[in-house]
Amino acid sequence: MDANKLNNNVILKYFAYIDKLVLTLGETFSWLNFFVLITIILQLILTHFFGKGYIFIDELEWHFYAIAFLLGLSYTEVKDRNIRIDVFSQKFSTQTKEKIDIFGNIFLILPYVIIVFIHGIDFAHEAWIIGETSGSPMGLPYRWFIKSFIPIGMFFLGISVISRTIKSIVFLTRNSNYKDSHRGA
């Protein structure tokens, strides 16, 4: 085995570990969707049968949803379940699809992720510094907690995109059937 293949294998093992971490986080936090459903049902019952709705339950619903969504983005990237325009992409060769993915990852997704990550840190930090709470009197405290998931979600999306891009580059340089093992983790 030459040094280039050995380096590729080490890199791929490293990114396989990252993918496993992202998948574990995604699967774990996907359970928040169950709690979104429970809070919706609870709020409906309280509102329609008892005439009482609680703002903190509405906010809790959105907090659960936001966390599941932000961490679900990286899970979707690792699983390669992102949206493509199938009318065009179904006609492309695997190599062309990989090149398009690399271009999109480097020039579209990563710049977005970096910008949102940087501003998300400032956003969460400012909420922490001023002790931001809900604007509603009965709302949830600690607004910084939910805002901190913006940079956390972007961090995991960023490493997932980098992992996916590296795998695509390795596939193109190997010109092999590695595609089957890296598409859809």
Q: Is residue 121 within 8 Å of 148, Cβ to Cβ? A: no
Chain segment 97-133, per-residue pLDDT in tens: 899 999 999 999 999 999 999 999 999 999 999 999 9
What was the pLDDT predicted at 91?
A: 84
Q: Is residue 123 within 8 Å of 154, Cβ to Cβ? A: no
Chain segment 142-173, per-residue pLDDT in tens: 999 999 999 999 999 999 999 999 999 988 98
Q: What percent of the chain clears pLDDT 90, i.e. is strictly above it?
A: 72
Q: Is residue 92 within 8 Å of 100, Cβ to Cβ? A: yes
Q: Which helix (H) or strand (E) holds 144?
A: helix 143-147
Average the pLDDT over 23-48 and give the result. Answer: 95
Average the pLDDT over 76-94 and give the result. Answer: 81
Distance CA(157)–CA(148), nearest Å, equals 14
Minimum mean pLDDT range among 47-61, 70-84, 171-185: 171-185
Q: Is residue 53 within 8 Å of 108, Cβ to Cβ? A: no
Q: Is residue 118 within 8 Å of 170, Cβ to Cβ? A: no
What was the pLDDT predicted at 118?
A: 98
What was the pLDDT predicted at 124?
A: 96
Give the three-class secondary structure for 111. helix
Average pLDDT, the chain: 89
How deeply is 44 buried, as exposed, middle or buried, from its count of CB atoms within 10 A (0-12, 13-18, 19+)? exposed
Q: Is residue 156 within 8 Å of 25, Cβ to Cβ? A: yes
Average the pLDDT over 135-142 and give the result. Answer: 89
